[in-house]
Structure 1
Amino acid sequence: MKNVLGLIIAFDTDNDLRELTDHRTVAAVPFGGRYRIVDFMLSNMVNAGIYRIGLLMKDKYQSLIDHVGNGKDWDLSRKNAGITLLPPYSYSKKASPLVTGEYRGKIDALAGAIDYLQKNRADYVVLADGDLIANIDISEVVQAHENGGNDITMVVTKKSADNPFTTYCELNRKREIVDIRVGDNNDGKCKYSALGVYVMSRQYLIHLIADCVTHNCIHFERELLTRALNDSNIGAYVFNEYNTKVFDAKDYFQANMDILDKDCRNELFLRTRPIFTRIYDEAPAYYGDQAEVCDSLVADGCHIEGKVTNSVLFRDVLVEKDAEIKNSIIMENGRVLSGASLAHIVLDRGVTIREGRTMMGHENYPVVIAKRSVV
């Protein structure tokens, strides 16, 4: 799809992941034992044949840069295409005539990348949030946009999400969007929620950005989309396979627990549309004589001597003898020492739980321990 440009909004907007985003953006949060959340949208675009992709960043992006690098693992290290990192150079008022200062929202970020959009020769732009976990056939969405003749095509799902950050939509029989509400489903009348994936022509996106900037609009969904709804046709592409928008720690925890289910994994990880990530060469996981592991995902390099149930363990996690982990997520280099007990806990990278400690959260409010903490 040489005529399509991908743009991923890889910075925090309406998210609350507590300690998990103290040092990184939501897009860079580790997921599923080996991935980062941004891997899903990057892979969706690459699987659709989109090899010109821009990553819009704002702050706390060092982890994201370290992970994506030159895009080699996504086949994006190319001479005439590839991935372009778009840091917040537009904080300078001289960087773009549309920017007046620090980013206040998605529209300011897009305005900061207006030069990138104008120089590109693509006919269409796929604009997507970096906090979506889903395996979407983007080429089918673009085709539906071309066939439908709409100005914008939004990817929506019928899955309800009672969240103040969710963008709800109401569709007519032609699958055209007739109402857009942020954080309000209009007493259940708006039965669809947006997944943060939009297809439109490049020139039309440039026009919308300029129009919003001149009217001091900063909120993409609440202002840009509603303005477009009054003047243009917005179509809907309904996607009802597995999907999760990671708004908060509960969403993140539940998404990791979901992939322990075979049916969810089969919808998310497809042979025809694989999810790519940065590759690490690690030794296989080691299981001691007394280790007990049940219904869990265990990454390479782990050393397990204790008991692990219904949990996700990233690379190089140590679980000593008599330690017990249930319904928890242990990120890279985690250390759970002898006699410790964890339930509904999310440990960020490099956390050490000392001997005999007991920690317990709840599925609706998992306890999150910050990076490199010692408890």
Structure 2
Amino acid sequence: MDSVLTMILAGGSPDGLGPLGRDRAKTAIPFGGRYRLIDFSLSNCVNSGLRTIYILTQYNPRSLRRHVRLGRPWDLDRSITGGVRVLLPYSGAHQTSWYRGTADALLQNLDIIRRSTSRYVLILSGDHIYKMDYRELFHRHIVTGARLTVGTRLRRHGDEHRFGLLDVDPRGQVVGFREKPGEPYGTDASMGIYCFEKDYLIQGLHEAAARGGTDLVREVVMPAVGRESVTTYRFDGYWEDVPDLEAFYRANLLLVDAAPPIALDDPGP
């Protein structure tokens, strides 16, 4: 997986989590006693052989930086090649504002993507609860020859208000994509996982910036459907988003079930 650069989007504010997110980034909120939400994405990366990881954040970043530090708990404390770095927005010749959206966050760090020797860029959300071997998604990306592969799961009731929904043909190719359409659509829901060919991502970000667009899904992912080869990797394991206190409480309670859907002490992906 040396040919893959990983960017974890962790900049959102924890608006729905009340006092839990008052003094910390959402991705730094404790989960399951001794873990933080960011630990799932980071552990998945390490267990999948990914060693060059950047975390893009801005809301109350000290808590996240303090938790990640140099990446030693994940064997990512590397000073020459690889490792994990937390990236904050900054003012410079061309960057003068906070991240205005997911595409803008990537665009403000485009120099890192461009200088990377990696051929592919894996983009993840840092606040989801799941275990995945990203090597399987990457294999799917390679064998299909896609420009973009989207990590998905089967659509559930209520997803139309929370996630992007995809219409997928029998070969797993995306033929339609609607972001939070408000009504049932297609077969799959996006997990916020995207594997791009690096050159195609750079092109898409430049095109988005020229239109004044700031959102990765609306400005880069959705325009690719019908124009480029976009495929899916459908995940059938446990995956959960925790947008509010009720969902967060429910996800924690599942850990004490006789057969919990996710084992936190299992080192594997």
Q: Say yes or no: TM over 0.5.
A: yes
Which whole-Å CA distance do the structure 2 matches of 1:12 and 1:31 have between them? 17
Residue 174 of structure 2 is aligned to residue 208 of structure 1: no
2 CA distance for matches of 1:203 and 1:115?
13
2:173 aligned with 1:183: no
Q: Which stretch of structure 1 is more off in the superposition, 188-197 or 126-135?
A: 188-197
Residue 212 (structure 1) shift:
0.4
Q: TM-score, normalised by structure 1?
A: 0.67
Distance in 2 of aligned mates of 1:161 and 1:29 = 27
For residues 98-141 of structure 1, what are the alpha-carbon distances to aligned partners after superposition, in whole Å with 9 as ceiling and x for unaligned?
x4633211111111110111111111111001111100110111
Residues 45-92 of structure 1 show CA distances to partners (whole Å, capped at 9, x for unaligned) of 111111100010112010001100000000000132101111112xx2
1:249 CA displacement: 1.9
Q: Deviations over 1:247-277 (max 9, x none)?
A: 222221111112222433456653433xxxx
TM-score (norm 2): 0.92
Q: Deviations over 1:336-357 (max 9, x none)?
A: xxxxxxxxxxxxxxxxxxxxxx
1:65 equivalent in alignment to 2:65: yes
Q: Distance in 2 between matches of 1:120 and 1:15?
A: 34
**After superposition, where does 1:92-131 map in structure 2 within 5 Å?**
92-94=91-93, 96=94, 99=95, 101-131=97-127
Cα deviation, residue 13, structure 1? 6.3
Aligned equivalents of 1:132 and 1:117: distance in 2?
24
- One-letter code aligned to 1:4: V
Structure 2 gap ranges (5+)? none
Relative distance call for 1:194 and 1:219 in structure 2 (3 A) is same
Deviation at 1:173, TM superposition (A): 0.7
Which residue number corresponds to residue 12 of structure 2?
A: 12
Which residue number corresponds to residue 87 of structure 1? 88
Distance 1:236 1:268 in 2: 27
Q: In structure 2, the residue corresponding to 1:41 is in which secondary structure?
A: helix
SS of alignment partner, residue 204 of structure 1: helix
Q: Percent identity?
A: 29
3-state SS, counterpart of residue 50 of structure 1: coil
Deviation track 1:226-259 (CA, whole Å, cap 9, x = no partner) reads 1111421211100011110222222211111122
Name the counterpart of 2:170: 173
Quick one: distance in 1 between partners of 2:148 and 2:155? 21
1:174-231 Cα deviation digits (max 9, x unpaired): 1111111122264x33231111111111221111111101111112222321111142
Counting matched residue pairs gives 267
Structure 2 counterpart of 1:69, which letter?
R
The higher relative CO (CA closer than 8 Å, separation ≥ 6) is in: 2
CA distance in 2, matches of 1:63, 1:262: 33
